[in-house]
Structure 1
Amino acid sequence: MNPDVLEYFLQEKNICVEFFHYEKNGEIIASYFLIDGREVGLNVAQDFPVTFDEVLIPMDKQAKFVLPDSTNKLSVGNRANVKNATFTLFRKKQVCWVKESFSAKNDKARRNEFNKFIKSGGEVKSYDELSPQELAEIYINLFKLRFADSVRCYEAENLICILTKFRHMLFGNVLYMHGKPCAYDLMLKSESDGAVYFDVPNGGLDKNYLHLSIGSILMWLNIKSAKELCQSLNKKMTISIGVYEPQWEYKKRWATVSHVGKVIC
C-alpha cells in the first residue's frame, strides 16, 4: 500500500489500478486500491523484495466500515476497523509483529552475545555506509549461504533497482566478521503521521558463524535502532518479520504471532 512503491510500479509495469476511499463528514478517513480490478494491494513479491504477507490499509484508527472488496491478507493492524472481516474462522496464515518490549533477561543475553561477537572480530555497519550495489551483492551472497538452492533469491538487477529507487526507505545494519559480511536482513521502513512501519522481506547469514548467534544479534540491533528512531520521532513502531511457520519457531522470541484476516463480501 506504500504510495512511493505503487507509483514506481505504475510507471514501470503495465498494471491497471483503481483507487477507492471512505469518506465521513467530507473527510477521507481510509483508502485502498485494486490491481487489475481484483487484488487488494501490490503483489510483486515473486520478483521484487516487496512483501505481500499482509495488506495494511491506511485509515483513521477510529474508522469502522465494511470493505467492499475481498482479500485474505488483511493485516491484524486493521482488525478493529473492518466490520466484515474474520481473523479466526478458517484462518491458517499467520504473521509476526515484533513485541513492543523485552525482558531485562533477554536484553542482557543479547548484549552478552554482541560483546562476544565484537571480541571475536565482529563489526557492525549501517546500511547508509554501503551503496545499493554493495547491499545487493551482500544480500545475494548471504542469502545463498543461508538457503543454498532451497529458496529462490531475487535477481541482482531487481534488487539493485529497489535498493536504489527506495534508498530513503532502507533501514538496518550489516554484520561483518573479520572484514567480510556475515549477516544482513533487508529492512524497509514507511512513515505515516503517527507511526513508522518496518518490514523485513528476508535476509541471509553465513552459517560458519552460527555459534556466535549472528541472527539474534542482527535482529536485536535492528529492533534497537528502530525503537530509537521511533522514540526520536514520537511515533509508534510496527515491525513485521514475515510469515510464521513451525520451522521458524525462533520468531516467537521476538514477535507476537497473529492470523491475517479474510474479508467476506
Structure 2
Amino acid sequence: MDAVFRLLGWKESSFEDYQQAYATYGGNLLSDPRILKFIHSRFDLKPRFLIQRDQNDEIVAGVCIWDNLYIAGDQRVANKHGINRFPLNFDEIVLPISPDTRAVLPFRTKFLSDINHHPVRNSSHLLNAHREISIVRAVSAKTRSSRNRELRKFIDIGGSIHHVSEFSAENLMQMYATLFFQRRGKQIDLEYTRELLREIPDLPFGYVLSFEGEPCAMQWLMKSEDHQRVYLDYINAGMNTALSHLSIGTLVAWVNVRAAFEYGEKQAKQVRFSFGRPTADYKDRWCDRNPLYRVIA
C-alpha cells in the first residue's frame, strides 16, 4: 500500500506538515488539527499524515488517514471506535487540498465535501448512493424581515436571547441536557461533551432562547474556522415543547442563522453552516442539499 501512496505522489509527513497544509488550504472541524490531536490522544487509530508537494516543493495537499485506509473523520471508523460519542458531526469531510491541484486519493470515504470534488480526481457522487448534506442557504430580504418581526413579538411577550458566551461551559451543557430531555424524553450523557470542551473550549456557537427568565430552546452548534471559511455544525437541539406554540424551534434556528452570517461578514469569510444529513423536512426550509462524494479507492 505504501508503494501505491508514493506512486500517486503522497509522502509520509509529520503532524507539523499537515498543520501547514491546513493553515494554507483550510478544512472543516473533522480535519482541524486540534480535533485530530484530541481524538488521536484517546483512540488507537494508527493515524498517519501524508502530503503532496508540487514541482517547487510547496505543499499542495494534506490528509490524515485512520486504520491505514480511511480518511480521518470517516463515519465507519468513527462508529467502529466509538468516536461518535463526542458531539462532532461526521457527515462531511473537507480536506486541506489546493483547489488548483488534481490529486488521486488512495484512501476511502463516502463523505467527501463537494468543496474537494474538483481537486480529487477519483471522487464520485453518482457512485455514492446520492448522499447529500444540508447546507444553510442565504436568507432572502423578505424572510429576514418576517423572522425578525416574529422574534420581536416573542421578546415583547417575555422572551429573550442570550449568547452562549454568557454561560459557563458547565451551565451551557446542563441547559442543553434539560432542554434535550424536554424535547425527546431522553437523558443525554454530558461526559464526552465535557471532555471535549475542557480541551477545546471555544467550539460552541450561537444563542439560547429564554421565556420569562427560563431557557426554552437552543441548538448545540460547534464552530471551527480556517482562513477563508467559518464552519458550523448543528449537532442537535433542545426545547421546551410546552412552548412550541410560540414557534421557538424556528426562532432559535433563525437567531443562529442570522448570527452565523453576521459573524462571517465580520470576519470577511464564507459561512458553511451544516444541518447534517437531510433527514427532516424542516431542514429543506433552511438549507440547500449539497452532494457528498465517494472516494473510489
Q: Note whether the superposition's TM-score is higher than 0.5.
A: yes
Q: Which amino acid aligns with 2:121?
A: K
Q: Determine if the alignment matches structure 1 residue 244 to structure 2 residue 288.
A: no
- The 8 Å contact of residues 39 and 83 in structure 2, kept in 1 or not, is answered as no
Change (3 A) 1:129 1:67: same
Question: Corresponding residue for 2:269?
Answer: 235
Using the alignment, how far apart are the partners of 2:135 and 2:105 within structure 1? Answer: 23
SS of residue paired to 2:276? strand
Out of 37-46 and 163-172, give the one that drifted further.
Answer: 37-46
Alignment of structure 1 residues 1-265 onto 2, 5 Å: 1-25=31-55, 26-42=57-73, 43=78, 46-99=84-137, 101-149=138-186, 154-245=188-279, 248-265=280-297
User: Which structure carries more relative contact order (alpha carbon 8 Å, separation 6+)?
Assistant: 1
Q: Which amino acid aligns with 2:131?
A: K
- The 8 Å contact of residues 125 and 292 in structure 2, kept in 1 or not, is answered as yes
**Identical columns (%):** 30
Using the alignment, how far apart are the partners of 1:23 and 1:244 within structure 2? Answer: 37
Listed as ranges, the gaps of 5+ residues in structure 2 are: 1-30
Measure how far apart 1:173 and its partner are.
0.7
SS of residue paired to 2:162? strand
Measure how far apart 1:45 and its partner are.
5.1
Using the alignment, how far apart are the partners of 1:258 and 1:130 within structure 2? Answer: 34
- The 8 Å contact of residues 61 and 96 in structure 2, kept in 1 or not, is answered as yes
Out of 209-218 and 123-132, give the one that drifted further.
Answer: 209-218
Listed as ranges, the gaps of 5+ residues in structure 1 are: none
Q: How many residues align?
A: 259
CA deviations over 1:115-173 (Å, ceiling 9, x no partner): 12111211111111111111111111111222224xxx641211222233222222111
TM-score, length basis structure 1 = 0.91
Change (3 A) 1:125 1:39: same
Measure how far apart 1:61 and its partner are.
2.4
SS of residue paired to 2:202? helix
- The 8 Å contact of residues 132 and 292 in structure 2, kept in 1 or not, is answered as yes
CA RMSD of aligned residues (A): 1.7
SS of residue paired to 1:66? coil
Q: Which amino acid aligns with 1:34?
A: I
Measure how far apart 1:256 and its partner are.
0.7
Q: Which amino acid aligns with 1:172?
A: G
Using the alignment, how far apart are the partners of 1:118 and 1:189 within structure 2? Answer: 27
